[in-house]
Amino acid sequence: MLFIYSIIVSIAGLLLQIIAFSVPKIKLFVAGRKDVFPTLISKIKPNDKTIWFHAASLGEYEQGLPVIEKIKEKYPNHKIVLSFFSPSGYEVRKNNTIADTTVYLPLDTQKNATKFIDLVHPEMVFFIKYEFWPNYLNELKKRNTPTYLISGIFRENQVFFKWYGDFYRKALDAFSYFFVQNEKSEQLLLQLGKSNCIVSGDTRFDRVASILEKDNTLDFIAEFKNNKTTFVAGSTWPKDEELLLNYINSNTTDTNFIIAPHNIKPDQIQQLKNSCTKKVILFSEKENKNLADYDVFIIDTVGILTKIYSYADIAYVGGGFGYPGIHNILEPATFGIPIVIGPNYSHFAEAIELARLGGCISVDNNDSLEVLLNELIGDIEIRKSRGAISASFVQKNKGAVAKIMSAV
């Protein structure tokens, strides 16, 4: 079965090379993998001690980061190898300073898995949340390499729990320990006979809690804020922006608005700017401007959204009108502010719980957004009360990293 699977993956790889000619993201996906093995040969020597972390994309990287930091402290003489599956993770974090080597993960064929692991020769391996690649896991199992899943989450609709999922169930045998986010995941693994499981929680809580200890100062945001109530919309998509602009354009309160779109392609940024009837400025235009004169600040760059949230009185987290749903709500939550999201958040346990508690509120149309924002902007006590729920939620749920490190 593994052989047939490898053939299917190889065929998929050939199809992706064809699609890459017309789809920019797939082009990055294909082109980035051409340099993986030469990069590993140049940066990892046969006598190096290494530890390998794999993240599907940016969100999983953020989940794994606090564990990477602790592992790096505990094993300072080891090189950290970080791999990504998706361009949206690799292209944003390829120049990170935490890993010694950052690469794309080659497609999951037997040949690629053997060569990759030969070159990396890790003493330990950490897969973050998802990503169960049978050939890589089979190769790690054959070599008896300690392999861990961190911040794992399992659901009944996954292939492992279907009658036809035996092939993928066998892949799970490679894991030395499963560190999962919740008891439901533990119960599902126990049904498969996997007792090597610890409910450690979600490492993202540790990650965002640690943000409070860092310098989040952005002088240009402070200048724009100008001591006014500030609404920050992060990781927005067109549907989010359509809804938000309807409110922003009709708003009469003394409120500043910051929009940090998920996609910062120039044509889409320009369209967003043109749709705004308020005084609007882009991040790329801010030099030599008096930012306090503007009502709307569009952030057409990446890497500073977390710090921007520290200036927010209210946050909106985008993605909730698409599939699979919202982006990271924990980053604004750690700063103790109320969070507004779209209706699609059923796949995100943290959003479900924070919505139940009242720190996060879902809207699904213009009317519900208007009513909610008018309340939050107009009543500072309600704003503070909901924000306190958000901050408390983060603090109460941190501690996953300590549980993982004690077991590892």
Q: Give residue-wise pLDDT tens across range 112-124.
A: 999 999 999 999 9
User: Rounded to whole angstroms, what are the CA distances from 107 to 73, 134, 278, 365?
Assistant: 31, 11, 47, 41
> What's the pLDDT at 336?
98
| pLDDT for the residue numbered 1 | 79
Cα separation, 174 vs 278, whole angstroms = 56
Rounded Cα gap, residues 223 and 226, in angstroms = 5
pLDDT at 324 over 80: no
Digit-coded pLDDT (tens) for 368-385: 999 999 999 999 999 999
Per the model's pLDDT, the better-predicted residue between 326 and 347 turns out to be 326
Most distant CA pair in the chain, distance: 65
pLDDT digits (tens, 9 = 90+) for 216-271: 999 999 999 999 999 999 999 999 999 999 999 999 999 999 999 998 999 999 99
Report the SS3 class of residue 177. strand
Q: Which of 377, 9, 58 is nearest to 207 (CA)?
A: 58
Mean local confidence (pLDDT), 90-104: 94
Residue 290 confidence class, pLDDT cut points 50, 70, 90: very high
**Is pLDDT at 20 greater than 90 in this prediction?**
no
d(CA 115, CA 117): 6
pLDDT in tens, 130-142: 889 999 999 999 9
> pTM of the prediction?
0.84
Identity of residue 189: L
At which residue do the structure tokens 């990446």 appear?
Answer: 302
pLDDT at 303 (0 to 100)? 87
Tell me the DSSP string of 137-174.
HHHHHHTT--EEEEEE---TTSGGGSTT-HHHHHHGGG
> Closest Cα to residue 300, out of 329, 263, 271?
263
How far apart are the C-alpha atoms of 386 and 338, rounded to whole Å?
5
Cβ pair 104, 32 in contact under 8 A? yes
Dist CA 172 CA 194 (whole Å)? 9
* Mean pLDDT score of the chain: 95
Q: Which of 398, 243, 236, 248 is nearest to 318 (CA)?
A: 236
Predicted local confidence at residue 408, as pLDDT: 85
- pLDDT for the residue numbered 58: 87
Q: Quick count: other Cβ atoms within 10 Å of Cβ 66?
A: 25
Average pLDDT over residues 62-70: 94
Q: What is the pLDDT of residues 334-366, one digit of tens each?
A: 999 999 999 999 988 899 999 999 999 999 999
Query: What digits encode the pLDDT tens for the residues 150-184?
Result: 999 999 999 999 999 999 999 999 999 999 999 99
What pLDDT is recorded for position 347? 84
| d(C-alpha 80, C-alpha 101), whole Å | 7
The percent of residues in the chain predicted with pLDDT above 90, rounded, is 89
